[in-house]
Amino acid sequence: GAVVSQHPSRVICKSGTSVKIECRSLDFQATTMFWYRQFPKQSLMLMATSNEGSKATYEQGVEKDKFLINHASLTLSTLTVTSAHPEDSSFYICSARDKRLAGTRHLYEQYFGPGTRLTVT
Amino acid sequence: AQKITQTQPGMFVQEKEAVTLDCTYDTSDPSYGLFWYKQPSSGEMIFLIYQGSYDQQNATEGRYSLNFQKARKSANLVISASQLGDSAMYFCAILSGGYQKVTFGTGTKLQVIP
């Protein structure tokens, strides 16, 4: 199967500190990785799209300097929330597209990680 | 811009019965894709089914089928023979913008009653 992991699953940090969240595709190479945030009982909002070796494309309204995305390899992307504030508390979910599916009818499927719950106190 | 509308915030269905979850969409892209995902209380997003805008036949994946009506811009999910484990949030999503951007609807909470 196609498994995506996220670490940590839960993190509590103090206001003003930075937090790094990792997203890994465990058994496949990811052409593209996506980062979403989800507020309680709400839908997923796309934050940014990243391709390995290139800069992330951020959605309108998402601060690039606050949410740093690094896509270091075909299996790892990181999201760093810099100078976190209580309003950044949310559920952050990453997803990835499997490079092996290119050219098939499944090429647009995204495999989601289990999510990271961030609480900023 | 693209938009997904799920008008049913919550639905109940009897175990073993079929249920339809509504989804309408709006996009100016000529090519797009439609997804349905399931999100249990644990939080992970589980892929259920995908329909391409040019697919001639409605997509089916086991007990899930997508009733795609392109002219009406609707992509309803039909779950047959509901099971207790189907209780979850269900999100409809559209893939557009050159197949790069996914926009999610607000979700429908499905509860299966024994």
Task: Tell me the per-residue pLDDT of B43-98, one tens digit each, with 9 for 90 and over.
Answer: 888 989 999 898 889 999 999 999 999 999 999 999 999 999 999 999 999 988 77
- Reply yes or no on whether the pLDDT at A56 is more than 80: yes
- Reply yes or no on whether the pLDDT at B2 is more than 80: yes
- Reply yes or no on whether the pLDDT at A80 is more than 90: yes
Nearest Cβ partner for A46 among B46, B52, B102: B102
Task: Show residues of chain B in contact with A32, CB under 8 Å.
Answer: 100
Nearest Cβ partner for A112 among B44, B101, B106: B44
User: Which pLDDT belongs to residue A14?
Assistant: 96
Reported confidence tier of residue A107, pLDDT bands at 50, 70, 90: low
- Reply yes or no on whether the pLDDT at A1 is more than 80: no
Interface of B with A in 34-63 (CB under 8 A): 35, 37, 42-47, 50, 52
Residue B96 sits at the chain A interface (C-beta within 8 Å): no
How far does B104 lie from chain A, in Å, by closest CA? 6
User: Which pLDDT belongs to residue A103?
Assistant: 64
Burial of A51 (C-beta count, 10 Å sphere; 0-12/13-18/19+): middle
Mean pLDDT calculated for residue range A8-20: 96
